[in-house]
Amino acid sequence: MKKAKIKNNYFKSQNVDVNMNDSKKLIYAGKAKDVYETEKEDEVIVTFRDDITAGDGDKKDNLKGKGECNSLISSKLFEVLEEKDIKTQYIKLIENGSMLSKKLDMLPLEVIARNIATGSLLKKFPFKENQKLDPPIIQMDYKNDEYHDPMLNDEITKALGLATQEELDEIKEITLKINEVLSKFLKEKEILLVDFKLEFGKDSQGNIVLGDEISPDTCRYWDIHTLKTLDKDSFRQSQDNVMDIYKQVCNMIVDENDLKKWNINN
Ligand code: 5GP
């Protein structure tokens, strides 16, 4: 996918300074994304990098174009959620690979929703492979590299002071709604939403808001007809066509009208 050729005055008219070559301060560098400050205290720029990791960071690579693909997919899915009144950090895609977002105080939780039993669930519990999970399972892991993201329960989460019961209840309710909205949207795109991981934060008013990204890095997508993997499992399994798969998913989810609206030339 080609880099967007966006005119300079586009940014001026949007009142956003996105020149990454100036001295914008890097606030946070994750495994696949960077967060930069903006002129506004409550807004940040999230840039999606080409780095990809798996297996607790043991397996690493850099896939040209992955960051751009994930920024487009995430932007589209955040917009789909916003249309259904689900609060997200997303403000707009400012160029291919970079998203203007609300600044959030992130909770160290990985909120996982599962519609089908696969992945780490099968290593921990005697579910049948590909068993349908109805109602879906919501699981929370502690986002902490030192402790290797262990699974939490509400009591441990509260005892660690990570969230209150009210916040946990709200997060679970929002996650179920997100699962409903995204499962329906992706089904129309012939993608089965198997499971996914979300991260939430609090905005300046203390509201719980969806942050991070929703992309093939953080979800399991299967081809609805063949059940073929369309996500990071292709990298985990060392397939040689990982970027082709990411581009295919991007083409399935993002359409020409989206690119036009975002001023992106493909
Ligand atoms: P599992 O627990 O089966 O490995 O993962 C369940 C779902 O959550 C998958 O869609 C997986 O991609 C996502 N997930 C779980 N933990 C992480 C993580 O630490 N990083 C990312 N990017 N995704 C995760």
- Domain co-membership, 152 together with 181: yes
Q: Is 218 in the pocket of ligand 1 (CB under 6 A)?
A: yes
CA of 64 to the centre of ligand 1 (A): 22
CA of 245 to the centre of ligand 1 (A): 18
- Domain co-membership, 183 together with 231: yes
CA of 107 to the centre of ligand 1 (A): 16
- Domain co-membership, 118 together with 213: yes
pLDDT, mean over the chain: 92
- Domain co-membership, 63 together with 124: no
In this structure, is residue 143 part of a structural domain? yes
Give residue 56's pLDDT: 84
* Model confidence pLDDT, tens digit, residues 93-151: 999 999 999 999 999 999 999 999 999 999 999 999 999 999 999 999 999 999 999 99
What DSSP letter does each residue of 163-215 carry, written as one string? Answer: --HHHHHHHHHHHHHHHHHHHHHHHHTTEEEEEEEE-EEE-TT--EEE-S--S
Q: CA dist 189 to 60, 70, 109, 154, 175, Å?
A: 30, 17, 29, 35, 21
pLDDT average, residue stretch 51-75: 96
Atom of ligand 1 nearest to the CA of 112: 8
Give residue 236's pLDDT: 97
pLDDT of 22 above 60: no
- Domain co-membership, 111 together with 97: no
Q: 63 pairs with which residues across the strands?
A: none
- Domain co-membership, 113 together with 229: yes
- Domain co-membership, 209 together with 119: yes
Nearest CA to ligand 1 atom 16: 197
Count the domains in the chain: 2
In this structure, is residue 47 part of a structural domain? yes
Cβ–Cβ < 8 Å for 52, 62:
yes
Tokens of 85: 């009144």
Three-point CA angle 58, 59, 65, nearest 5°: 140
- Domain co-membership, 224 together with 251: no
User: For residue 80, what is the domain's CATH number?
Assistant: 3.30.200.20
- Domain co-membership, 195 together with 246: no
Which residue range forms the structural domain that includes residue 53?
Answer: 8-105+242-261
In this structure, is residue 2 part of a structural domain? no
- Domain co-membership, 217 together with 112: yes
Query: pLDDT grade, residue 23 (50/70/90)?
Result: low
In this structure, is residue 3 part of a structural domain? no
Query: pLDDT grade, residue 9 (50/70/90)?
Result: very low
* Model confidence pLDDT, tens digit, residues 143-187: 999 999 999 999 999 999 999 999 999 999 999 999 999 999 999
In this structure, is residue 266 part of a structural domain? no
- Domain co-membership, 126 together with 229: yes
Atom of ligand 1 nearest to the CA of 149: 19
Q: Is 220 in the pocket of ligand 1 (CB under 6 A)?
A: yes
Helices and strands of the chain, counted as H and E runs: 8, 14
In this structure, is residue 167 part of a structural domain? yes
The sheet carrying 208-210 orders its strands as 105-106, 200-202, 208-210
pLDDT average, residue stretch 55-78: 96
What is the DSSP-derived secondary structure letter of residue 18? -
CA of 19 to the centre of ligand 1 (A): 32
What is the DSSP-derived secondary structure letter of residue 145? G
Nearest CA to ligand 1 atom 14: 197
Q: Is 140 in the pocket of ligand 1 (CB under 6 A)?
A: no
In this structure, is residue 96 part of a structural domain? yes
User: For residue 164, what is the domain's CATH number?
Assistant: 3.30.470.20
* Model confidence pLDDT, tens digit, residues 175-219: 999 999 999 999 999 999 999 999 999 999 999 999 999 999 999
In this structure, is residue 1 part of a structural domain? no
* Pocket test residue of 141, 149, 218, 233 for ligand 1, highest count of atoms within 8 A of CB: 218
* Pocket test residue of 59, 112, 114 for ligand 1, highest count of atoms within 8 A of CB: 112
Cβ–Cβ < 8 Å for 55, 80:
no
- Domain co-membership, 15 together with 74: yes
